């Protein structure tokens, strides 16, 4: 139950609010006629008893007063979004995003013309989802102006007010709707009214920057309920629009299972590969469409290269692949092949191959150019070719390390030059 001020009978654990640097910041802002509360994701996660990655604070104090107060207290103030009332305050090395209460006067995509105010309800009503509009005062009192507690109890991601209006304010909210459902929802199907609004506003996805889309996609694919959420996106015709190609939902689901089977944390690049890779051209498309990092692009291209040739059961071949790719790319490619295979997540042969990096470390190639120069080979293209041939012979021989075996390999190469 809530009263006219949004105050509820439920309270957060006060120990959480009184730990670390947070109470020092709240004490500076929540006095002398101004109020301050923890808002958004920190309150949501605390109520769900899941880890809190960052803490945001809202205040009635205008931005210039926030800066004055925190600097007087010896804290660092960084004007990261001061036009919209946001100051990043650093207390003992811990950053907090502090934002003055506001209402959106005009909205156009990600940008908005705002007016600062003192009305907590108005500030809550401008946010995206009800579960993100909860706030809590220093004594643990929870304030709920839009039904966030009820939706949180049902694990229901619901837009505040008119879903189509909320989406038109920022079309990234379409992706956030699915990402939050994947992270916090429990039902297979997203909230119907919100889903319908996302479908109706789908053309707005084309207006978004690739960097923002990438950020949401990479968070979505590692969320606990990513599989049913991506199925819902595919059914709604939105997944194709986001990734620009076929979504391999069966392989994605299997990737999640095999990661869990071998004790690996969900990896966003690997998950994206399972969802959208079949050939190397897919990696290039994803790189351009989502503006992936260079490292992500390299991983996806490596995953896509000949993954269908990977088979378990041949330890020597697996070691050769691990030597060539390194542990990360080896794991990526093996797990992609496993995700597309008919074997289950508990298959022993696939498990043995995937766990090879934990059982065996690839040695460094022992021979050097000096070994061939000492045998009379001159510098030039022939030396490079000899080194490559010797390395291939060494791999085929099972990576021997003893001097006699290496000398035999070098001698055999010299004889054929």
The phi-psi region of residue 376 (left if phi > 0; otherwise alpha if psi is between -120 and 50; otherwise beta) is left
User: What pLDDT shows up at residue 13?
Assistant: 80
34-66 pLDDT tens trace: 999 999 999 999 999 998 989 999 999 999 999
Q: Rounded CA gap, 319 and 360, in Å?
A: 8
For residue 334, the SS3 value is helix
User: What pLDDT shows up at residue 1?
Assistant: 58
Predicted TM-score (pTM) of this structure: 0.90
CB 17 within 8 A of CB 38: yes
DSSP tag of 9: E
At the second CATH level, the architecture of 7-153 is: 2-Layer Sandwich (3.30)
Domain regions of the chain by residue span: 7-153, 167-243, 246-362, 369-415
Assigned token pair, 301: 């291209």
Weakly modelled stretches of the chain, pLDDT under 50: none
User: What pLDDT shows up at residue 82?
Assistant: 84
């Amino acid at each position: 139950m809530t009263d006219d001020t949004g105050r509820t009978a439920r309270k957060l654990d006060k120990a959480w609010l009184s730990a670390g640097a947070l109470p020092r910041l709240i004490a500076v802002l929540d006095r002398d006629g101004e109020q301050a509360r923890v808002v958004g994701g920190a309150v949501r996660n605390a109520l769900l008893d899941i880890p809190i990655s960052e803490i945001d604070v809202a205040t009635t104090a205008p931005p210039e007063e926030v800066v004055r107060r925190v600097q007087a207290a010896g804290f660092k103030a960084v004007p990261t979004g001061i036009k919209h009332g946001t100051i990043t305050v650093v207390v003992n090395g811990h950053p907090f995003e502090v934002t003055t209460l506001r209402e959106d006067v005009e909205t156009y995509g990600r940008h908005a013309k705002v007016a600062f105010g003192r009305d907590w309800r108005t500030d809550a009503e401008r946010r995206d989802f009800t579960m993100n509009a909860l706030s809590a005062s220093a004594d643990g009192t929870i304030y709920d102006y839009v039904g966030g507690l009820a939706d949180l109890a049902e694990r229901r991601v619901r837009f505040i007010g008119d879903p189509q209006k909320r989406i038109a304010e920022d079309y990234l909210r379409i992706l956030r709707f699915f990402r939050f459902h994947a992270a916090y929802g429990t039902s297979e199907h997203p909230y119907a009214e919100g889903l319908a609004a996302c479908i109706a506003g789908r053309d707005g996805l084309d207006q978004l920057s690739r960097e923002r889309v990438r950020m949401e996609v990479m968070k979505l694919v590692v969320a606990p309920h990513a599989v049913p959420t991506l199925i819902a996106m595919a059914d709604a015709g939105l997944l194709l629009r986001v990734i620009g190609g076929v979504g391999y939902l069966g392989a994605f689901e299997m990737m999640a299972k095999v990661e869990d089977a071998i004790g690996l944390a969900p990896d966003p690049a690997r998950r994206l590969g399972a969802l959208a890779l079949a050939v190397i051209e897919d990696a290039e498309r994803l790189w351009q469409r989502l503006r992936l990092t260079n490292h992500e692009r390299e991983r996806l291209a490596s995953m896509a290269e000949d993954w269908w040739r990977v088979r378990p059961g041949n330890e020597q071949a697996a070691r050769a692949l691990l030597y060539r790719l390194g542990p990360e790319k080896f794991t990526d490619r093996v797990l992609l092949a496993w995700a597309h295979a008919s074997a289950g997540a508990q298959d022993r042969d696939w498990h043995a191959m995937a766990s090879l990096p934990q059982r065996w470390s690839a040695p460094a190639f022992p021979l050097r150019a000096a070994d061939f120069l000492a045998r009379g080979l001159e510098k030039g293209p022939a030396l490079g070719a000899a080194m490559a041939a010797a390395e291939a012979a060494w791999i085929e021989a099972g990576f021997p390390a003893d001097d006699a075996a290496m000398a035999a390999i070098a001698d055999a190469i010299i004889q054929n030059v």
